[in-house]
């Protein structure tokens, strides 16, 4: 894909880099920009079109960098702004675009705005947040009983007796998006990064920005007081105008957790976001009927607003799909993180290989979370005392198992990630999952991804239509001569006649496709 493509986000392969865990160049056990630059060749060889960089800004790291103290700089643990600018240039030279993560719902309690708001009740910054008096005779009861996104309470009392709102941790005070200064500041932040050559913005918790100023409780029959309020769309219309002012090839990509398809599609109207993450697909069970319904819902919703679909199997917040697919319950919820459910990693890996071909051949863009291309599974054996995820303390579950540093070389941890002790431990069994061990092995997960992405670049994928091969088989065509077949049944199935195999996720049994295996076919008349 050329960097000149004006609508690159419509069918790009986008790779999420979690900077703490990609590669460590300075030997402190934490990944950094120098490590990313040193291992940029891995992403070039993989064939991805863009990198989505998880937050790399100055932060106290109360929530792994999603508590931002300064959106215009880089945390010293990762490097410098100069190094970030060099990475953007080097990625572009390799034909790879850059997407940065912006967190608009909240900032760090160490941000200058919040420190000023705490220091003086009359400070103008006080109005940038949700400071409210408490309930009860002495004001010692929280203003609402809202439940936090990580569980627990959503209000913290200050020294002057008032309370401030935080939908996440107390170190992440929510911003008041009704204030024009807040809106102007974030439009300026977008321009800051666009001016440095960034090609896209990933928007964290995109549906949470606005709150009902009356602070009603969350009741089943009433409009939600802070999730998906209609006014949020004007924020993104303004952001779209900023993005379009840079020539029309800058993309806005939303993290939109939305069960209602119609409400989800509203964010993708032509004057709002360019794309949004497909959590319906990410959380779908390994079941042909449910998966087909999910694909249909996705394509129908996006077609209605002319937006591209996205296909996501894992990210930094969810259990890695090798593990999920190896469980009896293959869906995702935060409640099945580290729940002790038995995992068949061989089965999970086989299904993950098939899912790779499935996601890379559906219409739209595909997102790869770092390590997915290596077939990494969730590290469910991290000692609790090493957990750094605030969800562990507030909800009793940890996301750290999917954030473990990548294995690059060697037979022992830290597998070339660092010369020190990595910030989270790596499973010893990952010695067979290193980049070095898999490179050149035609049966490896890495070479499967490399081959599939290369074929995706050369194939002329066209209109989507289902191919009926049985109720337990997910099969579809992309035009007249390309087909993808995923066998979700418990027995081998016959492949269609008049075809040749382009790529298979596992060994075939003659002209039969084994269970939990996918294949790309060239159809002939």
Q: Is 441 a catalytic residue?
A: no
Q: Is 204 a catalytic residue?
A: yes
Structure-token pair, residue 248: 């029309």
Q: Are 392 and 150 in contact (CB under 8 A)?
A: no
**CA distance linking residue 346 with residue 516, whole number of Å:** 11
Which of 374, 387, 378, 380 is CA-nearest to residue 431?
Answer: 374
Residue 234: count other Cβ atoms within 10 Å of its Cβ.
13
Query: Which of 45, 83, 204, 344 is an active site residue?
Result: 204
Query: Which of 199, 255, 317, 378 is an active site residue?
Result: 255
Is the omega angle on the peptide bond into residue 437 within 30 degrees of 0, that is, cis?
no
Which of 304, 197, 174 is CA-nearest to residue 246?
Answer: 197
The tokens 């009741």 sit on which residue? 219
**CA distance linking residue 205 with residue 194, whole number of Å:** 21
DSSP conformation class of 173: P
Q: Report residue 448: phi and psi, to 5°.
A: -65, -45
Which of 434, 459, 457 is CA-nearest to residue 445?
Answer: 434
Q: Tell me how long the chain is.
A: 525
Q: Are 345 and 353 in contact (CB under 8 A)?
A: no
Structure-token pair, residue 163: 């309370």
Structure-token pair, residue 391: 């969800």
The tokens 């295996």 sit on which residue? 517
Q: Report residue 155: phi and psi, to 5°.
A: -130, 140
Per-residue buried b or exposed e for 463-474, using 16+ beta carbons within 10 Å of the residue's own CB: ebeeeebeebbb
Q: What is the DSSP string of 318-347?
A: S--HHHHTTSSS-S--GGGTT------HHH
Q: Which sign does the torsion angle of CA 334, 277, 293, 286 carry? A: negative
**CA distance linking residue 400 with residue 322, whole number of Å:** 16
**Pairing verdict, β 97-102 and 200-203:** parallel
Q: Are 487 and 470 in contact (CB under 8 A)?
A: no
Catalytic residues: 204, 255
């Amino acid at each position: 894909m050329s960097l000149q493509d004006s609508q690159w986000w419509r069918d790009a392969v986008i790779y999420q880099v979690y900077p703490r865990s990609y590669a460590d160049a300075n030997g402190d056990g934490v990944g950094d920009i120098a490590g990313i630059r040193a291992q940029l060749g891995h992403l070039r060889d993989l064939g991805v079109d863009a990198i989505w960089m998880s937050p790399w800004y100055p932060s106290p790291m109360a929530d792994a960098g999603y508590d931002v103290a300064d959106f215009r700089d880089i945390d010293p643990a990762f490097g410098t702004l100069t190094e970030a600018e060099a990475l953007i240039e080097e990625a572009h030279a390799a034909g790879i675009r850059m997407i940065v993560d912006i967190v608009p719902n909240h900032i760090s309690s160490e941000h200058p705005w919040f420190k000023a708001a705490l220091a003086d009740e009359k400070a103008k910054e006080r109005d940038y947040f949700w400071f409210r008096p408490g309930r009860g005779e002495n004001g010692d009861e929280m203003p609402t009983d809202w439940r936090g996104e990580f569980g627990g309470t959503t209000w913290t009392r200050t020294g002057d007796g008032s309370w401030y709102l935080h939908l996440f941790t107390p170190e992440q005070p929510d911003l008041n998006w009704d204030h024009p200064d807040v809106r102007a500041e974030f439009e300026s932040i977008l321009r800051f990064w666009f001016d440095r050559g960034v090609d896209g913005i990933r928007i964290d918790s995109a549906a949470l920005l606005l709150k009902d100023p009356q602070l009603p409780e969350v009741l089943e029959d009433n409009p939600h007081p802070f999730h998906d309020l209609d006014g949020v769309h004007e924020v993104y219309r303004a952001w779209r105008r900023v993005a379009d002012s840079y020539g029309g090839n800058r993309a806005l990509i939303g993290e939109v957790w939305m069960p209602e398809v119609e409400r989800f599609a509203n964010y993708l109207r032509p004057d709002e976001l360019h794309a949004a993450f497909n959590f319906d697909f990410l959380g779908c069970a390994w079941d042909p009927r449910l998966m087909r319904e999910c694909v249909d819902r996705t394509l129908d919703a996006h077609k209605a607003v002319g937006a591209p679909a996205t296909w996501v199997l894992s990210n930094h917040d969810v259990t890695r799909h090798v593990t999920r697919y190896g469980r009896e319950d293959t869906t995702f919820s935060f409640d099945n993180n580290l729940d002790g459910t038995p995992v068949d990693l061989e089965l999970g890996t086989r299904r993950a290989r098939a899912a790779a071909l499935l996601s890379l051949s559906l219409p739209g863009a595909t997102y790869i979370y770092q390590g997915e291309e290596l077939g990494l599974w969730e590290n469910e054996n991290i000692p609790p005392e090493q957990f750094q995820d605030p969800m562990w303390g507030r909800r009793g579950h940890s996301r750290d198992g999917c954030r473990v540093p990548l294995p690059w070389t060697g037979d022992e941890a830290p597998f070339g990630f660092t010369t020190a002790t990595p910030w989270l431990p790596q499973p010893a069994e990952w010695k067979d999952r290193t980049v070095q061990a898999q490179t050149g092995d035609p049966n490896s997960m890495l070479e499967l991804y490399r081959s599939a992405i290369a074929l995706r670049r050369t194939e002329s994928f066209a209109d989507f239509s289902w191919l009926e091969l049985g109720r337990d088989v997910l099969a579809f065509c992309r035009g007249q001569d390309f087909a993808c077949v995923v066998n979700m049944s418990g027995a081998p199935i016959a492949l269609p006649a008049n075809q040749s195999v382009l790529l298979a996720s596992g060994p075939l049994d003659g002209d039969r496709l084994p269970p939990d295996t996918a294949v790309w076919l060239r159809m002939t008349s």
